[in-house]
Amino acid sequence: MKILLIHQYFLEKGDGGGSRFNEMSQIWAQEGHEVTVLAGMVHYNTGKKAEKYKGKYFYKDLNFYPNVDVIRCHVSEAYNVNFLGRLWAYFSFVFSSIWAGLFKTKEKYDVILVTSPPLFVGITAYVLSRLKRIPLIFEIRDLWPESAIDTGVLTNKTIIKFAYWFESFIYKKAKLINVLTPAFRDKLIQDKNVPKEKIIFIPNAADFSLAEALGGSFNEVRFRKEHGLEHKFVITYVGAHGVANHLIQLVDAAEQLQNTNVLIQLIGAGMQKEMLKNEVKSRQLTNVKFVDPVPKTEVFEYILASDMGASVLKKVDTFKTIYSNKTFDYMSCKKPILLAIDGVSRELIEEANCGFYVEPENTMSIVSGVKKAMAQQSDLAKLGNNGYHFAKTHFDRTILAKEYLDKMTSLLHV
């Protein structure tokens, strides 16, 4: 089967962010299928292009992985400037990826899979689906436009109205719609009148390969010593430093935990990172450490050398419907989770019995949760193991990637 994947934020090799489709595409290729990815040139955290893309509208990375070709398409670097800049970044990718899909790809494909947000990548998918006469699968990683409205990314009423119209349109045109959480499925059926037989559920998942590969040889004591983590209770957050993540709540908690040995470690990049650094400096906090983005292998080393992993988001209703990518990374590393996300994410860690829920944006709740974890240090390994075994049973990426293949294959026989 030949698969055309449209993913504006498909990662570079070794990038430390969420890598759902980097891993799934490799599994599909190992199963004997060919994958072509239409991706953007601008990194979703930094809003910047790598030097090799400067001055180019397209960049072909053939055999990015064995049997996986990646075609990088132009995206405006005005993404983090203001609302109009971000909107132009979205639509510049729509235009460039349509062109690439028509003139830069190889042969006819069997299926198009597009993953959102941003919602507008669905325009590319629909146009190519119609012109190439191949079925379309639309994946929802985050409910758009709701999440963009709740976090203040979308405020223009005309754009919001168009986004809701297009959302309804693309749901009608897609042959299948994949949702990443049960809450998304319920929302689509109950509130958006999507036929339940059109919806499939291939959730976010854990990649066990890196943690297990490191597990036997990784020297946690040496790593902690080399990185100044000795004698600290290390809580590590990995991921974007953006508006939606609202990492200031961890800085606020750190300020209240200065008389403890807690160290909050923030790994990644994003439009709010400089603000966070300035806050830490102005408050003279010594228990917050910033680490620039590192390759995924190193990310797992930092997690393995931590006492807990943190998953946090802004306190808005839309985020009650999502699973956080990083939660699964912590589970695969057998680390308990400090979770400041309500809803299905809370239900997940409570069912798995693998961490501590704290109320988002409630400083004293976060502080209380950290102190509770510190008081139960002898139980943390058990909680970490609980999460690992739960994820292994329900969220193994290899198993889920093969289920995704089955769903795609089913469209060839309709």
Residue 45 belongs to domain with CATH number: 3.40.50.2000
pLDDT of amino acid 318: 86
Residues 199 and 274 in one domain: no
**Token digits of residue 249:** 């709540």
Residues 147 and 243 in one domain: no
pLDDT of amino acid 46: 67
125-128: long-range contacts (C-beta < 8 A, 24 or more apart)? 125/6, 125/170, 126/169, 126/170, 126/173, 127/98, 127/101, 128/4, 128/6, 128/98, 128/101, 128/102
Residues with Cβ < 8 Å from 20, sequence gap 6 or more? 141, 204, 205, 325, 397
Please give the residue range of the domain that contains residue 11. Answer: 2-205+396-411
Residues 194 and 213 in one domain: no
Give me the DSSP letters along 4-16.
EEE-TTPPPTT--
Question: Measuring CA to CA, which residue among 322, 294, 308 is closest to residue 383?
Answer: 308
Per-residue pLDDT of the chain (414 residues; tens, 9 = 90+): 999 999 999 988 766 555 789 989 999 999 999 999 999 998 776 667 888 988 899 999 998 999 999 999 998 877 666 667 677 878 899 999 999 999 998 778 999 999 998 889 999 999 999 999 999 999 998 888 887 787 777 777 888 898 899 999 999 999 999 999 888 999 899 989 999 999 999 998 887 877 777 766 789 999 999 999 999 999 999 998 988 899 999 999 999 999 999 999 999 988 899 999 999 999 999 999 999 988 888 889 999 999 999 999 999 888 998 888 899 999 999 999 999 999 999 999 999 999 999 999 999 999 999 999 999 999 999 999 999 999 999 998 889 999 999 999 998 865
- Give the total number of structural domains in the chain: 2
135 upstream amide cis, omega within 30 of 0: no
Distances (CA, A) of 338 to 55, 64, 151, 327, 359: 43, 35, 22, 9, 10
Task: Tell me the C-alpha distance between 218 and 234, whole Å.
Answer: 17
Number of H helices, E strands in the chain: 16, 14
pLDDT of amino acid 202: 93
Question: Measuring CA to CA, which residue among 11, 95, 114 is closest to residue 57?
Answer: 95
Residues 256 and 325 in one domain: yes
Asked whether the whole model's pTM tops 0.95, one would answer no
Q: Are 267 and 291 in contact (CB under 8 A)?
A: yes
- pLDDT per position as a tens digit, 84-104: 767 787 889 999 999 999 999
pLDDT of amino acid 83: 62
Residues 116 and 255 in one domain: no
Residues 291 and 381 in one domain: yes
Residues 225 and 344 in one domain: yes
Residues 158 and 289 in one domain: no
Residues 198 and 283 in one domain: no
Residues 226 and 292 in one domain: yes
pLDDT of amino acid 160: 87
Residues with Cβ < 8 Å from 133, sequence gap 6 or more? none
Residues 143 and 233 in one domain: no
Residues 120 and 96 in one domain: yes
